[in-house]
Amino acid sequence: MLSFLGVRPIAFAAGLAFALMALIGGFSTIGAMVSEPEKPTAEHEFHLAPREADFSFNGVTGTFDERQMQRGFQVFKEVCSACHSLKLVAFRDLQGIGYSEAEVKAIASQWAIETPAPNPETGELATRKNLPSDRFPAPFANEIAARAANNNAVPPDLSLMAKARHHGPEYIYSLLTGYRNQVGFKNKDGQELLREFPEAKTPAGLHFNPYFPTLNLAMTPPLTSNGQVQYTDGTAPTVDNMARDVAAFLTWTAEPKLQVRHQAGWAAAIFLLIFCGLAWGAYQNVWRGVKH
């Protein structure tokens, strides 16, 4: 009993000392923040939020525009697929944006990169033509090859890019159309980047883009001129349209069931409204003869 009573004051003193140290540390941190505020950085002052873009799938009633999806796929095929993979999407999934089974078979068999597969006779690694059931093959054999071809940067897979970034479709659209000349670039407050932050000069091999979090990225501007991709539906192949279309396509690859979710949500909301009405009617009927 005596030993127990002797431990309690020691534990109390230790707890009090710990609390005092934490309090002193907290006040020291606050004092340092007030006396030495954090210095602004180029990324904080000059990074731009994604531009607004009016996509058909925005909002709770939004739907995918199949023609836009197909144009976006064409941009991915002719421009983006040279560096970026789409490893979570199979060729047969393209039927979800309006391609027929025959068209999907043709797209798969004619794809520039074939699927790695062992030779059935020798066992040596070879390639074969793609099947509709195959996923889109990666443009590089491995990470080393990807780095060697892209200034030591590995191009990210684009399957889920629209979900991996905040305001994904708008981010992709803004990034593709956002390459700028760093010299003379100003923010909304009129500050000039290189005058305020001369150390932020874009290093050799990188490209300035204020929509990218660090302002500089290894990817060269992929969409450089109007008419780079020839649309077959009569849409003007401007850089803006091509960026918007491929952003829409990558939204579909990330959320192919978006329309189904919208429809299910409306069905659930209507069901709940009807159920609430029936429940209220049943309540009134059951308690009709009871006086309050």
Question: Any idea where the domains of the chain sit in the sequence?
Answer: 43-86+161-259
CATH top class, domain 43-86+161-259: mainly alpha
Residue 84 counted as an annotated binding residue: yes
> pLDDT by residue (tens digit) across 95-140?
999 999 999 999 999 999 999 888 777 778 888 999 999 999 999 9
Q: Under 8 Å CB-to-CB from 219, ≥6 apart: which residues?
A: 83, 150, 153, 155, 207
| First vs last C-alpha separation in the chain | 63
* Residue 126: strand pairing partners: 117
Residue 83 counted as an annotated binding residue: yes
Rounded to the nearest 10°, the torsion over CA 83, 87, 89, 90 is: 100
Low-confidence residues in the chain, pLDDT < 70: 1-8, 12, 25-38, 291-292
Q: What pLDDT is attached to residue 30? A: 60
Which pair of tokens denotes residue 119?
A: 């030779």
The CB density around residue 47, as the number of other CB atoms within 10 Å, is 16
Per the CB < 8 A criterion, the answer to whether 217 and 205 are in contact is no
Which pair of tokens denotes residue 227?
A: 């008419």
> Which residue carries 């606050």 as its tokens?
30
Which pair of tokens denotes residue 141?
A: 């054999």
- Predicted TM-score (pTM) of the model is 0.80
Nearest to 162 by CA among 107, 244, 274: 244
CA 279 to chain centre: 43
Nearest to 186 by CA among 199, 176, 177, 195: 195
Q: What pLDDT is attached to residue 29? A: 59
